[in-house]
Structures are given as structure tokens and as C-alpha cells.
């Protein structure tokens, strides 16, 4: 069994066609080990969300191979992707993306129900997760009744609900002050470490870098510090 959670090789993504074509990812190689926490860092427009979306089965690559836990997702049919996504992946989106007509509890419980947990249990588990992220007194609040940091915590509880083996977080601290940003990232990393989850966090926030196992830089659609752990281990020039 491979020790890689994510093995992406030669990934390209072009948006649009003809004169309007734009290549957002250029031959990206990106590996994440099981249980590893990687932060993906790069300027605005460098391709971070695009890469995360491809790894998260939200977008398909134009070329290249992506394997998640040994399953080649680039060879799957489009309609199979949501099934795989549901089984494997928790997502904290850029902007929290909570459903505004549902309470904090319902937002988290809904994900558990889609992962096959029965309603009663889903509510109990969602309440426990929200308590864990410090929102025990906000279970019945709607997203617009919560602060930015609180909404982000709900989004984190939702991403880890059901313990998916992979969690992606796209700038989870962007809307938060330094203290709140560090707090929510700590909660995310703690919960993922307990579950042995592999995590990719996109961030500009150097105040949270110390929580990562590894930082990967991307610029203009290319990984700029190419030696992944896997490549370094097999490379004769690695030292």
C-alpha cells in the first residue's frame, strides 16, 4: 500500500479555449503522505484554489494523473467524482460556504447524514463537534448570527465531520484577525492529527506556518520548490 494520500503528477489545467485559453496549472507534481499536513502558499492568482479543486474532485484536470489513496481519479467518470468526494474529502472553502437557512447544528449534521449517519446520531455528533470547536452555546444560531471566526469554526467542524481521510482548507484564516486565525487553524490541525487525516491548507498567513509539516510554494501555476518528500526519498541527488 502506498504511503501517499495524494499523488498528483504532471497536472495541467487550462480554462477556456482558443485565444481566451488560460493555463492555470503547468505540470504540477504534488504529493502528500498519509497523515501529513501541508500548507500551500503562493500569490493571488497562482493556482492554489484550482489545484485544491482538482485534488478535491471539484474540477477535472486538463492533463496529468491524480491518485487519492491509490485510486486514479483522473480516469473516473464525471458522475463518479461526487461519490468519491463524499467518501474521502472534507472541504473548508474560501469563504465559509455555510448554508444560510440552516443553523450551525444543521449545517454540520447535514454533512454527517450525507455520509450515511442516521439523523438522531448526526445531531448528537454535530453538537459534540461544535462543542469541540468552542461553539456549544451557538448550536442553533444561523450563519448570519455568527462572527467570521465562529462561522469558520462551523466550517471546520463540518469539514472534519465523519472523519474523512482527506481535508482541504482554502484560506481558512483569511477573514480573521491574527489571534482568531491561529485559533481556528490550531483546532483544525488538532482534530486532523487525532484522526490521522491528511490535510492541505492554502494560506498566505505566515503566523500559522509553524503548524505545518511542510510548506509548498506555487507561483504562476508551477510548484517552485519541487522536491516533495516522496521525490526526495527516491532521488539519488537528495541530501
Ligand X SMILES: Nc1ncnc2c1ncn2[C@@H]1O[C@H](COP(=O)(O)OP(=O)(O)OP(=O)(O)O)[C@@H](O)[C@H]1O
17 contributes a contact to ligand X by CB under 6 A: no
15 contributes a contact to ligand X by CB under 6 A: yes
Smallest distance, Å, CB 92 to ligand X?
14
CA dist., res. 34 & res. 181, Å (int): 25
User: Among candidates 88, 36, 12, 28, which has minimal Cα distance to 57?
Assistant: 88
Q: Cα dist. 154→121, 131, 177 in Å?
A: 18, 10, 17
CA dist., res. 189 & res. 194, Å (int): 9
DSSP bridge partners of 31: 7
State which residue, 191 or 202, has the beta carbon closest to Mg ion: 202
48 contributes a contact to ligand X by CB under 6 A: yes
Angle at 46 (CA atoms; ends 28, 183), nearest 5 degrees: 100
22 contributes a contact to ligand X by CB under 6 A: yes
State which residue, 22 or 209, has the beta carbon closest to ligand X: 22
According to CB under 5 A, which residues from 46 to 75 bind Mg ion? Answer: 49
CA dist., res. 86 & res. 96, Å (int): 18
Smallest distance, Å, CB 218 to ligand X?
7
Q: Which does 16 bind (CB under 5 to 8 A by kind): Mg ion, ligand X, none?
A: ligand X
Question: In this chain, which of 16, 136, 196, 226 binds ligand X, going by CB under 6 A?
Answer: 16
The contact set with ligand X (CB under 6 A) reads: 15-16, 22, 24, 42, 44-50, 94
Amino acid at each position: 500500500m502506498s504511503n501517499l494520500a495524494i499523488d498528483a503528477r504532471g497536472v495541467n489545467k487550462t480554462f477556456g479555449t482558443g485565444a481566451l485559453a488560460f493555463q492555470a496549472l503547468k505540470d504540477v507534481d504534488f504529493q502528500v503522505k498519509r497523515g501529513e499536513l501541508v500548507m500551500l502558499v503562493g500569490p493571488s492568482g497562482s493556482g492554489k484554489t484550482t489545484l485544491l479543486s482538482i485534488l478535491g474532485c471539484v474540477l477535472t484536470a486538463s492533463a496529468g494523473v491524480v491518485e487519492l489513496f491509490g485510486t486514479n481519479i483522473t480516469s473516473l467518470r464525471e458522475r463518479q467524482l461526487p461519490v468519491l468526494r463524499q467518501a474521502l474529502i472534507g472541504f473548508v472553502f474560501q469563504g465559509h460556504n455555510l448554508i444560510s437557512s440552516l443553523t450551525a447544528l444543521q449545517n454540520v449534521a447535514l454533512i454527517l447524514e450525507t455520509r450515511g449517519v442516521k439523523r438522531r446520531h448526526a445531531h448528537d455528533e454535530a453538537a459534540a463537534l461544535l462543542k469541540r470547536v468552542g461553539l456549544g452555546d451557538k448550536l442553533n444560531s444561523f450563519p448570519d448570527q455568527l462572527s467570521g471566526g465562529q462561522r469558520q469554526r462551523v466550517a471546520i467542524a463540518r469539514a472534519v465531520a465523519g472523519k474523512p481521510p482527506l481535508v482541504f482548507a482554502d484560506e481558512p484564516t483569511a477573514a480573521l484577525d491574527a489571534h482568531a486565525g491561529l485559533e481556528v487553524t490550531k483546532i483544525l490541525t488538532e482534530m486532523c492529527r487525532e484522526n490521522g487525516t491528511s490535510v492541505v491548507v492554502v494560506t498566505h498567513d505566515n503566523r500559522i506556518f509553524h503548524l505545518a509539516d511542510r510548506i509548498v510554494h506555487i507561483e504562476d501555476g508551477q510548484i517552485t520548490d519541487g522536491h516533495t518528500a516522496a521525490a526526495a526519498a527516491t532521488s539519488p541527488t537528495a541530501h
